[in-house]
Structure 1
Amino acid sequence: MKLLEKYSLPILIACLLFPLAMPNPIVGYAATATMVVFAFIHKKHLLFILFLYFPARPLFMELNNGLTYTGDLIILILFLSVLIEKVKNKEWPTANYHFTIPFLLFCLVGVIAAFITGVNLIPILFELRALLVTFLLLYIIGELHLERKDILLFLEGMLLFAVALSIHGLIEKGFSRTILIPDSWSAWDLPPINNMRIYGAAANPNVFALFLGIQFFFSFFRFQAAKKHRVWIFLSSALIFGTLLFTYSRGTMIAFGMASLLYIILTKNKPLFLYGLGSFLCGLLLIYFPISFTSSNDDLSASVPVDTMMIGSLPPEGDQALSKRFSEIYSDESLSQSTEWGRLYVVIKGMEIFMDHPVIGTGLATFGDSATLSFSSPIYQEYGIGENMYTDNQYIQVLVQTGLLGLAAVFGFVFLTYRTLLHSSNRSTATFTICLLLAALIAGLFYNILEDKTFTLFFYSCLGFCLQKDIFSKD
């Protein structure tokens, strides 16, 4: 047992990666079962595996669908093992979790409304899983006795992983999605506006951008703590920043831009400002412009002759592509398309449904959430909504599905979380988590942030860290 505990981290990493070379689902199931056992051998190392799994989960699932529920099972087993230990040792929880009650009430309102609307049990459970699986990390990490060395291991491991995924994403961009990605992904028929974006191992440019944005912050903390290799860490952050620019994720850049500004104001952290400015400039000059120029030339050389091509169809190059993504937000064409089938359409249709169900809404799994992509919603035919609609707006989704009562519960959770963070003894982590909370509130205008496993993985984990006594004072 001691030998397994000593080598638990390399064993767990091998269990995660081995099924990728052996695509049989049985291999994935066996690897998952092996990893779950380590909840009773080395919880912290098993927890670390989650930070490798969820950011690349779509790629893992595509290469071996036996890994589809690996992260969910790890979290559930970790939660149960922590709970069993508390009961066995007759211990009370070491943190105050009263502030989480409004979020659980939000889920309860959604379940009750869903049953009233006529949603089946399976879609409801499917959506509860999307909302609550990573939420359990708040309790798990809140009860684990993390030490400084554990935090440094997480930061160092995540930086290495972020570098690996960034390089993978740049190869995807440089080779026009022809190598190192599954054949089914290469065959995607993407519109021109999305074809230039890096989708990464997350198979979604917005999710990938959220991951890279968080990793940039983590790289700074690792930079501050490092006594050597600081140049390598800085160059890694430049690589991450340069890759982030290729996602062209406007919502993420706005959300993390505001969160970064708040963090600098709250901490008066001039080194972070200089670190961020240097990373941005190096990422722009060393990563973004060279690869953008190369890939644009490749696209043109492989296309039809210029004299037979409409000028408007030429791909934007360099800073033009990035600036165009932001300038077209309020263009007449974008607003028209958004009103017909985009985000404004979702808001307008959502308000129509909300006016009919203002108190508790229509329930979970009824309007543009993860469940409705897999199961039919009972209200879509009545309101003339297409089956594959996804809201990409957390606020309108909450308002439609849980009404004013659910929206009040969510904001109650936000307020109580903020108050809890203000009283945390982990001042640096608490400040960072407050900035993540702001990023979530802004990103909620563009994404269903509560269902984003990558963002909630880090947010609830940081929140759990803040509930402990000062972990950075431990040896």
Structure 2
Amino acid sequence: MKFIEKQSLFILIMCLLVPLAVPYPITGYIATVLMLIFIGINKKNLLLILFIYFPARPLLMELNSGLTYTGDLIILTLFISLLMENFKKYEWQISKYHFTVPFWLFCLVGAVAGLLNGVGIFPILFELRALLVTFLLLYIIGELNLERKDIFRFLKVILIFTIFLCLHGILEKIFSRTILLPHEWEMWNLSPTNRMRIYGAPANPNVFALFLSIQLFLSFFLFQSLKKYKPFVFLASILLSGTLLLTYSRGTMIAFGFAALVFIIWTRNKSFLKYAVGAFGLGLLLIYYPVLFASSKVEVSASVPMENMEIGSTPTSEHEHALSNRFSEMFSNTTLHQSTEWGRLYVLIKGLEIFKDHPITGTGLATFGDSATLSFSSPIYQEYKIGERMYTDNQYIQILVQTGVLGFLAVLAFILFTYRKIIKSRNGTLAVFTICLMLAALLAGLFYNILEDKTFTLFFYSCLGFCLQKDIILKD
């Protein structure tokens, strides 16, 4: 048993890898059951595996459907296990979590409103799962009593995993999505603008960018604390920065650029500024441009006959200004027109129209551009002439439409109570970092449904759980 406990992380990783080599659902189910057994052997390593599973979940699901609910089951089992243990010992400090009540009220308002507006129970449960599964990590980590050494072990393992994701994404870019991807992904009909972006294992450039942005922050804490491996960590940050630039994710770069600025001003940490500028500068020179060059060479070798290409045009010249063009085109007439026709402005205008009809409690969960409406039909789409598979990509209008003023006020109360809880924790750098994550989420909410993003919420709620522990220090 001691040997299994000592090798538990390796065994858990193998439980994820073996179903990929033997891609039958049954192997995924067996692997999931085996992982759940580690609840009684090593909870910390089981928790760590979540930080590998969720960022790569779309790829894992595509390769083996038996892994679809592995993360959800791990979180639920951890939560129930800790709940039972603490109630037996009478150690569960419920008052520590009073600040989370408004979020549960928000979910309750959305669920009740959905039922009143004709939404079925399954779509509502589907959306509640999207909102609450990673939210439970707040309670799990708040009660698991992780030590400083545990956190840094987590950071080391996750950084190594992130390096593999970056290398995979770079190969995807160089070979134009023709290798190391499931065949179904290779066949995606992407627009020219999106085709040049790295989608990676998360199957979404914006989600990948959010993950890499968080990892760049966390790599700095590793860089500060590790003496022997500083060069390795900085080299990793260069790789992460270059890969982040290749996602061309404007919203993420704006949100985390603002969060980084707040972090620098708040902590007056000049070393972080030097680290970030150095990582992005070298990432641009050593990763971004070389990958574009390599990608262009591969495109040329596999492209149509040269007579079909415009004189003086190469794939490099088409893409070398892509990053700057992505930002300069944000408010162009063409972009605004497309957005109004079927984009974020269309969603905003349509959302305000619906909100006027349901201002108090909204139309309910699973009714307007959330993850549930991608799988279940919404009862309001026909009335308001909305096409199927519409996704809001705006957390604020989604909250207003689905939960009305009551739900919006509940979320606002949760944000304010959370901020106060973090400040009162007096956890120094960790507290500031968590607040910066929250600021990034508030800004990113203008561009994404951030509360449904498992990768972001995985890290944010985990950091929030860490803040509930008094002796966590992120730097020496």
* Distance of aligned partners of 1:167 and 1:405 in 2 relative to their CA distance in 1, 3 Å threshold: same
**CA deviation after TM superposition for structure 1 residue 90, in Å:** 1.9
Give 1:426-465 correspondences, 5 Å limit: 426-465=427-466
Distance in 1, matches of 2:336 and 2:474, equals 52
C-alpha contact 2:428 2:473 (8 A) present in aligned 1: no
Distance in 2, matches of 1:128 and 1:464, equals 20
Q: Is 1:93 aligned with 2:88?
A: no
Aligned residues: 475
Deviations 1:48-87 (A, max 9, x none): 0000000000000011000000000000000000001001
**CA deviation after TM superposition for structure 1 residue 95, in Å:** 6.5
**CA deviation after TM superposition for structure 1 residue 470, in Å:** 1.1
**CA deviation after TM superposition for structure 1 residue 311, in Å:** 8.5
C-alpha contact 1:113 1:363 (8 A) present in aligned 2: yes
Question: What is the letter of the counterpart of residue 58 of structure 2?
Answer: P
**CA deviation after TM superposition for structure 1 residue 313, in Å:** 9.7
Q: Is 1:389 aligned with 2:390?
A: yes
**CA deviation after TM superposition for structure 1 residue 307, in Å:** 5.6
Moved more, 327-336 or 464-473: 464-473
**CA deviation after TM superposition for structure 1 residue 126, in Å:** 0.1
C-alpha contact 2:117 2:379 (8 A) present in aligned 1: yes
Distance in 2, matches of 1:301 and 1:95, equals 64
State the match for 1:195 in structure 2: 195
State the match for 1:11 in structure 2: 11
Q: Is 1:273 aligned with 2:273?
A: yes
Distance in 1, matches of 2:236 and 2:82, equals 35
Moved more, 139-148 or 95-104: 95-104
Gaps of 5+ in 2: none
State the match for 1:289 in structure 2: 289
State the match for 1:333 in structure 2: 334
Question: What is the letter of the counterpart of residue 157 of structure 2?
Answer: G
C-alpha contact 1:373 1:388 (8 A) present in aligned 2: yes
Runs of 4+ in structure 1 deviating by more than 3 angstroms, as ranges, are: 300-319, 472-475
**CA deviation after TM superposition for structure 1 residue 106, in Å:** 0.4
* Distance of aligned partners of 1:474 and 1:393 in 2 relative to their CA distance in 1, 3 Å threshold: closer
TM-score (ref. length: structure 2): 0.97
**CA deviation after TM superposition for structure 1 residue 93, in Å:** 2.0
C-alpha contact 1:95 1:142 (8 A) present in aligned 2: no
* Distance of aligned partners of 1:473 and 1:348 in 2 relative to their CA distance in 1, 3 Å threshold: closer
C-alpha contact 1:430 1:466 (8 A) present in aligned 2: yes
**CA deviation after TM superposition for structure 1 residue 302, in Å:** 3.6
C-alpha contact 2:369 2:398 (8 A) present in aligned 1: yes
**CA deviation after TM superposition for structure 1 residue 244, in Å:** 0.4
C-alpha contact 2:360 2:405 (8 A) present in aligned 1: yes
TM-score (ref. length: structure 1): 0.97
Deviations 1:426-466 (A, max 9, x none): 11111000000000000000000000000000000000000
Distance in 1, matches of 2:313 and 2:145, equals 56
Deviations 1:377-417 (A, max 9, x none): 00000001111100000000000000011111111111111
C-alpha contact 2:205 2:248 (8 A) present in aligned 1: yes
Question: What is the letter of the counterpart of residue 210 of structure 2?
Answer: L
Distance in 1, matches of 2:124 and 2:277, equals 45
State the match for 1:324 in structure 2: 325
C-alpha contact 1:137 1:460 (8 A) present in aligned 2: yes
* Distance of aligned partners of 1:27 and 1:358 in 2 relative to their CA distance in 1, 3 Å threshold: same
C-alpha contact 1:95 1:467 (8 A) present in aligned 2: no
**CA deviation after TM superposition for structure 1 residue 2, in Å:** 2.6
* Distance of aligned partners of 1:97 and 1:328 in 2 relative to their CA distance in 1, 3 Å threshold: same
Distance in 2, matches of 1:319 and 1:231, equals 29
Distance in 2, matches of 1:115 and 1:43, equals 37
Question: What is the letter of the counterpart of residue 86 of structure 2?
Answer: K
Q: Is 1:352 aligned with 2:353?
A: yes
Give 1:228-307 correspondences, 5 Å limit: 228-304=228-304
Distance in 1, matches of 2:45 and 2:65, equals 23
State the match for 2:418 in structure 1: 417
Moved more, 343-352 or 287-296: 287-296
**CA deviation after TM superposition for structure 1 residue 299, in Å:** 2.6
**CA deviation after TM superposition for structure 1 residue 8, in Å:** 1.2
Give 1:218-237 correspondences, 5 Å limit: 218-237=218-237
**CA deviation after TM superposition for structure 1 residue 92, in Å:** 2.7
C-alpha contact 1:234 1:279 (8 A) present in aligned 2: yes
Distance in 2, matches of 1:419 and 1:306, equals 62
Question: What is the letter of the counterpart of residue 373 of structure 2?
Answer: T
* Distance of aligned partners of 1:396 and 1:57 in 2 relative to their CA distance in 1, 3 Å threshold: same
C-alpha contact 1:55 1:202 (8 A) present in aligned 2: yes
Please give the root-mean-square deviation of Cα atoms over the aligned residues, in Å: 1.8
**CA deviation after TM superposition for structure 1 residue 7, in Å:** 1.7
